[in-house]
Structure 1
């Protein structure tokens, strides 16, 4: 059993305009022997918006609504759990060995939120699940269990309607909202796998203002090529 097939559903959030990211993700899955069948494992068409409505940017709001949309889709089909990825996912070179260990060790374990990708530099000599004890500012590779679906959905619906800075959590990045819920609700069992199983692939952002190099259309192909070279190098080292 691999880390993708273990889950009832797996969704990769992708904007229709980012065919480059979709293609690179398809290549990443194929490279690691993972299958995309458009049913159990498939792409989720990211939600695009024209207004920020209190969020830091229109991209941040669209990302928030897309993660919420994946959750609502899983609820509609009565999924037991859902694995969520963003379309810049790059798997660790140890994904086969340690991904199998990660899902095997979930047998009999009660969980609500799992982070397979995170920014922590931890001792990974003995890979295993560790309870989340600090904010994790990434949601490119995580899972939600059905027993937490409604709680998370209801919280996100409230957050998106609240103004920024609201004491109970106002409009914010999706990863910040998930962190806020975990921090506020001590009943939620949230864990991260100590061996980081997935990273964010170097890619042009859709959440923030672009750098001058990405804004200049004649330089964009060069920047994309340099990112592909960097991604190829990172696949060897991490």
Structure 2
């Protein structure tokens, strides 16, 4: 396989980075992450996608959860409008793992060869009942395999064709609807996978990206994120090389 950007762009036609307009801090951090693998937000195959920032939570559990759900829905619409066959969706708090290049090189050939619908690469995976091994580095995941994160997910055009009407219907239902009402988007993907068990969903045994520690727009802000001086200090601590090394060691265990 070639270099990281060549391999990544041989698998994905377009990379969509979801970012809130007012989160310049995450935009800068995401630019640094992309630079680290030989890409940038200015690359012609990278699209900075404006995240939804609703005025209220509507029927969702929070305004942030609604915004995240609507942002993913917007990316699926863009995939269809842009005619993209395979897309990578990155939330702007995604952080590429130190072994990104070697992991991508190991799975790139399979990702090009297999006609997959969705790719998760967000957490270390062990096989669960119903999963099937795909080579040494990938698993074909059963519809019952659950995920609680969606910061690095690949989609086929076919998947987005199903996702747009599915997510729109879910958003329109009342909370707690037995067919699936408004919820966090990672849960929505689990519901959709169960509804379409014939979809080919792949997961990497080792993740290509983890969530970078960053002030959340979904959860209620902690007190140190509500005050500008403390928020700046907290951001510096989150980016501390020492803390990042500690997190990387924990993730490898």
User: Normalized against structure 1, the TM-score is what?
Assistant: 0.92
Cα offsets for 1:96-148 (capped at 9, x unmatched): 011122221123312111112136467xxx42233244211111000111122
CA deviations over 1:141-182 (Å, ceiling 9, x no partner)? 001111222111110010111111111110001111001110
| Shift in CA distance, 191/161, structure 1 to aligned 2, threshold 3 Å | same
What does residue 210 of structure 1 align with? 221
Is residue 2:107 matched to residue 1:102? yes
Question: Could you say if the C-alpha distance between residues 235 and 41 of structure 1 is closer, same or farther in structure 2, counting changes exceeding 3 Å?
Answer: farther
1:135 matched to which residue of 2? 146
Distance 1:224 1:60 in 2: 22
Gaps of 5+ in 2: 128-135
Contact 1:116–1:198 (CA under 8 A) maintained in structure 2: yes
Task: Establish whether residue 168 from structure 1 lines up as the match of residue 168 from structure 2.
Answer: no
The match for 1:31 among 14, 32, 36 is 36
Task: Output the CA distance in 2 between the equivalents of 1:81 and 1:158.
Answer: 24
| Secondary structure at the counterpart of residue 144 of structure 1 | strand
1:85 corresponds to which residue?
A: 90
Residue aligning to 1:233: 245
Q: Which moved more, 1:7-16 or 1:223-232?
A: 223-232
Which residue number corresponds to residue 207 of structure 2? 196
Q: Is the 8 A contact 2:125 2:203 kept in 1?
A: no
Contact kept, 8 Å, 2:148 with 2:186, in 1: the verdict is: yes
Which secondary structure does the structure 2 equivalent of 1:4 belong to? helix
1:149 counterpart (153, 160, 173):
160
More helix per residue: 1 or 2?
A: 2
Where 2:15 maps in the other structure, the secondary structure is strand
SS of match in other structure, 1:55:
coil
* Compared CA separation, residues 155 and 231, structure 1 to 2 (3 A): farther
> Are the equivalent residues in 2 in contact too, given 1:112–1:189 (CA < 8 A)?
yes
Deviation at 1:234, TM superposition (A): 5.1
**Contact kept in structure 2, 1:93 and 1:235, CA below 8 Å:** no
Superposition RMSD in Å? 2.0
Asked if 1:4 corresponds to 2:8, the answer is yes
